[in-house]
Amino acid sequence: MRALLNLTAETAARYLENLEDRGVAPSAEAIAGLTELDEPLPEMPMEADRVLETLDRIGSPATMGMAGRRYFGFVIGGSLPAALAANWLAGAWDQNPGLFAASPIGTVLEEICLGWLLDALRLPAASGGAFVTGATVANFTALAAGRHAVLARAGWMSKLTGCSARPRSPWWWETRPIRR
């Protein structure tokens, strides 16, 4: 395991060190080379170092140079060395921080990070928050929280009565006929 992780660290470091010497976008040849990955499910497992070598040989040239200084394609945060190292350690820990009983370190770190986020955004300490799996769930969660807040201001406790038992409202979107 140690040899594989050391090889991974060397491979990743070499990739990051070479970003400035290559184009930001992958070459047409590198993209065409991705077809080499499309093969039937192997009968037997591949050696881990061979998996890493294959991914590096075929995959690394076909990446966008997002981690480099010359990438301006989308608003994607760069990976700081400490964040990259922490991500590797988190992957090794293989924790599910959904419950304290399942991962004390995961839940405590989430609580600390949420506190830091409240500080950074200058929000009240009593504010709530949660980490979710991605942008889609974040948007869905924000819409649900917003709906709950609007309904609470109208005097309806949706947590107790549910959404289907909502009182009729004079709000414009409930009184206007829907035109199709």
* Burial annotation 92-110 (CB, 10 A radius, 16+ → b, else e): eeeeebeeeeebeebbebb
My answer on whether 72 and 107 are in the same domain is no
Q: Is the pLDDT of residue 88 over 80?
A: yes
pLDDT at 76: 75
pTM of the model: 0.65
CA angle 12, 17, 23 (to 5 degrees): 105
Q: What's residue 68's pLDDT?
A: 82
Whether 101 and 150 map to the same domain: the answer is: yes
The answer to the question of residue 169 being in a domain is yes
In percent, how much of the chain has pLDDT > 90?
56
Which structural domain, as residue segments, surrounds residue 107? 95-175
In contact, 67 and 36? CB cutoff 8 Å: no
Of the three residues 91, 122, 143, the one that is the final residue of a domain is 91
Q: What percent of the chain has pLDDT over 70?
A: 86
CATH number assigned to the domain comprising residue 13: 1.20.1340
Domain-terminating residue out of 72, 91, 110: 91
Q: 3-class SS at 144?
A: helix
The string of pLDDT tens digits covering residues 19-63 is 889 999 999 999 999 999 999 999 999 999 999 999 999 999 999
* 180 domain residue, yes or no: no
> 28 lies in a domain?
yes
Residue 74 in this model has a pLDDT that exceeds 90: no
Report the b/e string of 158-175 with b at 16+ CB within 10 A.
Answer: beeeeeeeeeeeeeeeee
